[in-house]
Chains A and B, each alone.
Chain A
Amino acid sequence: MSFLLSCPLCGPRDVYEFRFGGEAQARPTPGADQRSWGEYLYMRTNVSGVERAWWFHRAGCRRWFQAERDTRTNTVIRTGWAPLGGNLPSGNSSGSDG
């Protein structure tokens, strides 16, 4: 489903104005081993539920921000400048319905 995303600077806009930047995750330290970098570069939780992800307002202010969105319904819970504080709602993993 297509949906609106609220840019922290520009307000609610069509999702097609944005570039999806992938789920937010912690970066390894510079001296981390190759396996840790492989994990960071490629492995994803890819949650069916509420996900915290990066977005880029390509056709607007061209700023990166983060959004929390339910990937099952595309309901946007909140957006803001990174890093978004607080915890994600629990019980994510049980939701595997498409």
Chain B
Amino acid sequence: MIGPLRRLRMGVAKSLKPSYDVVIIGGGSHGLATAYELSKLGVKNVAVLDRSYLGSGASTRNTAIIRSNYRTAQGVAFYDESVKLYERMSVELGLNVLFSQHGHLTLAHTELAIAGLRVRAETNQLLGVDSRVIFHDEIRRIAPALDLSSRPRFPIQAALFHPPGGIIRHDAVVWGYARRAQERGVDLHPYTDVTGIDVVEGRVTGVQTSRGPVRAGIVVNATAGWASTIAQMVGLRLPIVTHPLQALVTEPLKPFLDPVLVSATLHVYVNQTDRGELVIGAEIDPYASYSMRSTLPFLETSASHALELLPAIAGVKVLRQWAGICDMTPDYSPIMGITPVGGFLVDVGWGTYGFKAAPVSGKRMAELIATGRVPDLIAPFALERFYTDSLIGEKAAAAVSH
């Protein structure tokens, strides 16, 4: 696995061309997927810029969970295509991305939560996504380690079972897209900080970088965490507030947990990796910040909440904890497509759900760039929706912050 990474790092010395057809800001899973898909559509004069190494941001800080059991029709259709693309990714990219579809359980601890899961199950089934509400007998069979007794403060009552859900090797997704995009002629420029974007008469004409200016007809903002700061370079405000999100990983244990566990009531999600470690994530930190420092309150609350679900992990040691930053939107749906600035496209607002949408975002953003038409699948996620009261409320299915 280190091989492809080394080769990409060597790519740093490559000089910036004075002009590209498309400049993509952000060398994460979204930016690289967009570049790869563009090359497949014949758009080859493409550069991907990142201020650090490729995949240094949210792409490799997330908890690598893939699923499509969302709440709205627009969301379900969109994430369903993403899951299908992830299923074929190892073959498509010629690199094993270790996608393990072990299933996904969203736990309900209250009557109200069960009602919410039923809405999701019905919407999912109507759109052909495998998803249903199950109770103790089935939950016990799928995840015997879960405490289903009445001992916890919030006993588990039911769960939304989503068999195609699972986890993946997120670094491999980034490397796979990067390697194939580079082979197809895309220029990857890590350690290239965008310091400004040139706009002439309402149209982008290029970007200023730490390595010099580059002309470009189309500039794509594919950043996560810095979407607002990039948009500000063209004078655009976005409906985004950036919050830190933290996660931790424990020492490796024998395999005992197949599905991904999620509890909105306890603000926690847990999965066991192929190496046996438990990856535990939480809700976003309760205040806006660009700081990626870890906190003790996160460690304390996440550990205690994970213990409520899995009492057997008492005494298991935490190896490390880390943080990333998330661009939260008011409706927990992304912002994709055109903006009032000509040639400036956005693929932003990915909150806590960006990684699972990388393949479909890349495919559809590339389609938009190549054809000039907004694909139906991403049309509902336009920036304009915030001015026309057409929000796509996914909070009940996208977050554990409620």
Q: A20 contacts which of B287, B292, B325 (Cβ < 8 Å)?
A: B287
Docked-complex contact A74 and B289, CB < 8 angstroms: yes
**A46–B232 Cα gap in the complex (Å)?**
10
Docked-complex contact B238 and A48, CB < 8 angstroms: no
Q: Tell me how many residues of A have a C-beta within 8 Å of chain B.
A: 31
Q: How large is the interface on B (under 10, 10 to 19, 20 to 34, 35 or more residues)?
A: 20 to 34
Known: A16-B286, A71-B288, A98-B325. Is A44-B240 also a contact (CB below 8 A)? Answer: yes
**A45–B227 Cα gap in the complex (Å)?**
11
Q: A98 contacts which of B286, B290, B295 (Cβ < 8 Å)?
A: B290
Render A19-38 as a binary contact track against B, CB cut-off 8 A, 1 for contact. Answer: 11011000000000011001
Q: Is the interface of B mostly helix, strand, loop or mixed?
A: loop
CB distance from A15 to the nearest CB of B (A): 7
- Which residues of chain B come closer than 8 Å to A22, judged between CB atoms? 241, 288
**A19–B286 Cα gap in the complex (Å)?**
7
Docked-complex contact B226 and A43, CB < 8 angstroms: no
Docked-complex contact B242 and A46, CB < 8 angstroms: yes
B387 at interface (Cβ–Cβ under 8 A)? yes
B296 at interface (Cβ–Cβ under 8 A)? yes
Render B119-154 as a binary contact track against A, CB cut-off 8 A, 1 for contact. Answer: 000000000000000000000000000000000000
B386 at interface (Cβ–Cβ under 8 A)? yes
CB distance from B161 to the nearest CB of A (A): 34
Docked-complex contact A48 and B287, CB < 8 angstroms: no
Q: B386 contacts which of A18, A42, A74, A97 (Cβ < 8 Å)?
A: A42
- Which residues of chain B come closer than 8 Å to A46, judged between CB atoms? 228-229, 238, 240-242, 288
B interface vs A, CB < 8 Å? 225-226, 228-229, 232, 237-242, 286-297, 325, 330, 386-389
* A41-B386, A43-B386, A44-B240 known, 5 other contacts, Cβ within 8 Å: A1-B289, A1-B294, A18-B287, A74-B293, A98-B290
